[in-house]
Structure 1
Amino acid sequence: MYIKKILWAIALIGLVVAGFFAYYVYNAMLSPNTKFNNDEAYIYIKSTDSYDEVRSQLEPLLKDIASFDVLAEQKKYTSNIKSGKFAIKKGMNNNDIINSIRSGNIPVKVAFNNQNSLEKLAGRIAKQIEADSLALINAMTDTEFLSSNGFKSETALGMYLPNSYELYWNTSAETFRDRMLKEYKRFWTDKRIAKAHNIGLSQDQVIALASIVYEESKAEKEQPRIAGVYINRLKNGIPLQADPTLKFAAYKLPKYKNTIIKRVLNVHKEIKSPYNTYKNRGLPPGLIAMPNISAIEAVLNYEKHNYLYFSADPKRIGYHKFAKTLAQHNANARAYHSYLNAKGIRK
């Protein structure tokens, strides 16, 4: 009888222990452990992050970080951190959270345009992926990479076509650069290369001219006509005389640092630079800005006409008046200069 009581007591103790263990397992693994109100929250884990750094991001999001610690240790997550962007959904339990941050790396949209130097582009991209701007600029300017892929320092920016791309947040600088090269090669189809060849331009030259077209006009409907003017001038051996190239050359001089040139003057036309298309015939050695895709397409599909000149239209700001003769052009230019004078724009 006494032995039976002992056995019953042991059994009861076992049940209590099992109950506590079951409760512990449920609490650690299956009980919801989020405390934010949104449908989901995100954490960004760097390639160099330790468990403590991951934990510091999770702690404000979880009700009970201690139970998460226990399960993370049991599942060996603490010694096997994965980098990337991860989602924590409202109502997730610890087991779901660990599974999410272990294998649920979420792609991000990386977008850029109008970045007129590799340095500015690197800064823009560094705000969207893990790689910092220094690592990015080092990858972008790597001389071995540039030379092996047919680029120079003057043309390197042309490899980066403005668009929106899907990447992982933990993308390295080199991986980003290589992906952009892949996108560049994908853009330059046989058909586009043939069009460039028929115009008598290389891919770099198309992008260089597109950068001038883009700086002249953001109006996509007008870009093919402007491209046609420059193609006509190239074919006839006439200097491009593109004002945006003068601004580009000026901004490289200490005198014009941190200034904005609103009006191109004769003094700018005297700047000694390979980018001065008033003094030098043909295209400049590289692009002067990051053109959008429409400007590149405008060059490849330029409007065929007999215009050799264009001037900003004071009655339709952002658009231009086109001319076939110098006399016509001078009249258009005088009208625009009068507009600038009336606005008090002298430089």
Structure 2
Amino acid sequence: MTQTIENNKKRRKKPILLYFFIIMLIIVLVGIYGVKKYVDNQLKPIAIDNIKEVQVTIPKGSSSSKIAKILKDNNLIRNELVFRLFAKYEKMDNKFKAGKYVFNTGMTQEEIMGKLVEGGISKDAITFTIPEGFELKQIAERLHEMNLADKDTFLELASKVSNFSSEYEFLKEVPEELSLEGYLYPDTYEVYVDASEKDIIRKMLNRFDNLYTDEIKAKAKELNLDLNQVITLASIIEREGRAESEREIISAVFHNRIKAGMMLQSCATVQYILGERKPVLSTEDTLIDSPYNTYINTGLPPGPIASPGIKSIEAAVNPADVNYMYFVFNEDEEGTHTFSVTYEEHKKAKNRIRKK
């Protein structure tokens, strides 16, 4: 009888212990997940838009902890400890070199560490900045003015996706007849003064490749948009959306018009055809026979009309949940627009703005 009672107690203890171990395992797994999520967040760039260039000097003999403090003080990393641990994990902490560096707030910690391993800026390096919304020809002109590239050579290389599609998987999704318009990411770059036109193009394509994340790809797939459609729409948003807070709303207007089978009627696409940014388009301008003219063609134009920044790319796949079909520029310093659902509301908004 006593033996039976003891056996029953042992049987009861087994499931209690099993439940205890399961609960402890869940707690540990949740803890690991929480730590991983926190670390991943700390490894992200400081900014994804309004990226700023930052020059720093790493003194000789600086330890990884001192370098981390310099980077944190200059708002280039989020967490000193995470930086040091990540550097140790990647076996880079003893490879950092002293010197002068040009970083930017859009760089990941891994990119920053890579530059620290390569070494500082030499007297033969130079930086250049390409603003968001620049067209290929404007990029070429800026590089030409800085004596970094021959304009004609640069434009010739950038005129065909096929010149670089063997090197970049994402370019295989872009129609071969298109140029690299829209895919040379606007940012601040550092190159050697003797860098070739190809070197510069590759650097800009690498930046685009890094920023076109799996999350953006997944959103695009949900909307049934391919890469070229996303960047084409993003480039129009970039040129139309002056106020950052409105980009997702402008995106929604274009999405709504496409769904309704309406023409986008974007002034930016006509300005692209004209090769100039006229503040007011004439009736003749809107009737130009071109596949890029969204006043006479439905849907998106064949390809991008400028280089969009990450904010506009994200807006293209994250349209606001609104039913607006029209917008008109308020002609204010903030660059805001008035949005309307019906054409009658739109006409009233235009008349009100004209009377100001």
Aligned equivalents of 2:149 and 2:265: distance in 1?
40
For residue 183 of structure 1, what is the aligned residue in structure 2? 207
| CA deviation map 1:98-153 (0-9, x unaligned) | xxxxx956543232125643232122124446443333233323564155433445
CA contact (8 A) 2:185 2:205 kept: no
CA contact (8 A) 1:155 1:204 kept: no
| CA deviation map 1:1-51 (0-9, x unaligned) | xxxxxxxxxxxxxxxxxxxxxxxxxxxxxxxxxxxxxxxxxxxxxxxxxxx
> Is the alpha carbon distance of 1:270 and 1:237 closer, same or farther for their aligned partners in structure 2, counting shifts above 3 Å?
same
Identity, in percent, stands at 31
> Is the alpha carbon distance of 1:210 and 1:130 closer, same or farther for their aligned partners in structure 2, counting shifts above 3 Å?
closer
For residue 243 of structure 1, what is the aligned residue in structure 2? 267
Aligned equivalents of 2:290 and 2:300: distance in 1?
12
Aligned equivalents of 2:352 and 2:331: distance in 1?
7
Q: What displacement does 1:301 show?
A: 2.2
> Is the alpha carbon distance of 1:104 and 1:163 closer, same or farther for their aligned partners in structure 2, counting shifts above 3 Å?
closer
For residue 328 of structure 2, what is the aligned residue in structure 1? 311
Q: Does residue 299 in structure 1 map to residue 323 in structure 2? A: no
- Where does structure 2 lack aligned partners over 5 or more consecutive residues? 1-99, 101-120
Query: Which of 136, 150, 159 is the matching residue for 1:118?
Result: 136
Equivalent runs, 1:243-282 vs 2, <5 Å: 243-249=267-273, 251=274, 261-282=278-299
Equivalent runs, 1:20-31 vs 2, <5 Å: none
Equivalent runs, 1:149-298 vs 2, <5 Å: 149-150=171-172, 151=174, 152=176, 154-249=178-273, 251=274, 261-298=278-315
Amino acid at match of 1:203: L
| CA deviation map 1:62-102 (0-9, x unaligned) | xxxxxxxxxxxxxxxxxxxxxxxxx9xxxxxxxxxxxxxxx
Amino acid at match of 1:296: I
For residue 140 of structure 1, what is the aligned residue in structure 2? 158
Aligned equivalents of 2:133 and 2:290: distance in 1?
22
> Is the alpha carbon distance of 1:127 and 1:270 closer, same or farther for their aligned partners in structure 2, counting shifts above 3 Å?
closer
> Is the alpha carbon distance of 1:316 and 1:328 closer, same or farther for their aligned partners in structure 2, counting shifts above 3 Å?
farther
> Is the alpha carbon distance of 1:213 and 1:144 closer, same or farther for their aligned partners in structure 2, counting shifts above 3 Å?
closer
Amino acid at match of 2:340: A
> Is the alpha carbon distance of 1:263 and 1:133 closer, same or farther for their aligned partners in structure 2, counting shifts above 3 Å?
closer
In the superposition, the TM-score normalised over structure 1's length comes to: 0.59
> Is the alpha carbon distance of 1:230 and 1:158 closer, same or farther for their aligned partners in structure 2, counting shifts above 3 Å?
same
Amino acid at match of 1:186: N
Aligned equivalents of 1:174 and 1:218: distance in 2?
32
Equivalent runs, 1:2-151 vs 2, <5 Å: 107-114=125-132, 116-128=134-146, 130-142=148-160, 144-146=162-164, 148=166, 149-150=171-172, 151=174
Aligned equivalents of 2:289 and 2:321: distance in 1?
32
Larger Rg: 1
CA contact (8 A) 1:162 1:293 kept: no
Name the SS of the counterpart of 1:221 in structure 2. helix
CA contact (8 A) 2:269 2:293 kept: yes
CA RMSD of aligned residues (A): 2.8
> Is the alpha carbon distance of 1:206 and 1:155 closer, same or farther for their aligned partners in structure 2, counting shifts above 3 Å?
farther
Aligned equivalents of 1:118 and 1:213: distance in 2?
17
Aligned equivalents of 1:260 and 1:212: distance in 2?
13
Name the SS of the counterpart of 2:221 in structure 1. helix
Which 4+ runs in 1 deviate beyond 6 A? none
Name the SS of the counterpart of 2:182 in structure 1. helix
| CA deviation map 1:156-183 (0-9, x unaligned) | 1211110112322222211222222222
